[in-house]
């Protein structure tokens, strides 16, 4: 979906409209919305109120999760000591926020406004273990590797990733799935932002073999796909990357000087 900068209520309503018919898909387990979908990146729209994610977003996520009987994932600003975190929230079907993750890697000029988080996050849910990251975090393979080492079977990535870096987005998503043998579900914003940046979409689910299960798209739409983490065991037996790791060797480096 696109984001109308600073127009929270309009963005909430647009998201509600887009997911209105999800029930016909036999009920999704996860609903993922783009990074900062409700407020955008125009910093003049931010209000440095009391610490914490705006309560209206928390209410929206909790209500939507309950209504759709799904986990709902997105990010919003979190004021803190004169700056902000870009904070991911996961709302559960029982109408509560079960955890949060602060974006670890603000991108370039974002560092003037956003602080980077210092902890990764893995969610132990009823049927699956889920790791999360946000947009630019995707460029750091250490993040997904660490999430996978803690047992993540699915990595969810809300993003606002603009042109001309669509090839990077598509390639990195597949790489993270292949190298960690996990599912990757990524949701990206579409259309133009206030600063002239164009967001190309390409929201997608990539399976643990690295196959993209959704078609490439750049329009506003719902992307629905189903994965089966049972296949991960067979893939890891066929290509034994995890059991063939040599952690002792990775921690040692010999430097040769000419």
Q: Is 187 a residue of the active site? A: no
CB 1 within 8 A of CB 37: yes
Q: Which one, of 58, 65, 81, lies nearest residue 32 by Cα?
A: 65
Separation CA 107–CA 48 (nearest Å): 20
Which of 68, 103, 115, 187 is flagged as catalytic?
103
- Nearest Cα to 225, choosing from 213, 237, 212? 213
SS3 223: coil
Catalytic residue among 3, 68, 115, 135: 135
Q: Is 103 among the catalytic positions?
A: yes
Task: Using alpha carbons, list the distances in angstroms from residue 82 to 33, 78, 88.
Answer: 26, 10, 19
| 66 has catalytic annotation | no
Active site residue: 3, 35, 78, 115, which one? 35
Q: How far apart are CA 180 and CA 208, in angstroms?
A: 8
φ/ψ of residue 197, rounded to 5: -70, 140
Q: Which residues are catalytic?
A: 35, 103, 135
């Amino acid at each position: 979906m696109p984001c109308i900068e600073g127009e929270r209520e309009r963005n909430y309503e647009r998201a509600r409209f887009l997911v209105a018919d999800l029930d016909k898909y036999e009920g999704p387990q996860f609903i993922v919305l783009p990074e900062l979908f409700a407020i955008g990146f125009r910093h003049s729209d931010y209000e440095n109120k009391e610490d914490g994610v705006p309560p209206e977003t928390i209410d929206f996520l909790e209500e939507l999760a309950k209504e759709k009987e799904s986990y709902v994932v997105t990010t919003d600003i979190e004021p803190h000591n004169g700056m902000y975190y870009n904070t991911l929230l996961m709302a559960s079907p029982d109408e509560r926020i079960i955890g949060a993750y602060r974006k670890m890697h603000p991108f370039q000029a974002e560092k003037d406004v956003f602080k980077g988080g210092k902890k990764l996050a893995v969610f132990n849910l009823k049927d699956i273990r889920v790791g999360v990251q946000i947009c630019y975090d995707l460029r750091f393979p250490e993040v997904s590797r660490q999430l996978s080492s803690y047992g993540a079977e699915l990595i969810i990535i809300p993003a606002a990733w603009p042109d001309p870096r669509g090839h990077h987005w598509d390639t990195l998503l597949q790489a993270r799935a292949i190298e960690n043998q996990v599912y990757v579900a990524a949701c990206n914003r579409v259309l133009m932002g206030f600063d002239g940046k164009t967001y190309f979409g390409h929201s997608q689910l990539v399976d643990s073999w690295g196959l993209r299960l959704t078609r490439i798209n750049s329009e506003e739409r719902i992307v629905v796909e189903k994965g089966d983490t049972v296949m991960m065991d067979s893939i890891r037996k066929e290509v034994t990357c995890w059991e063939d790791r040599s952690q002792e060797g990775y921690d040692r480096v010999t430097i040769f000087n000419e």
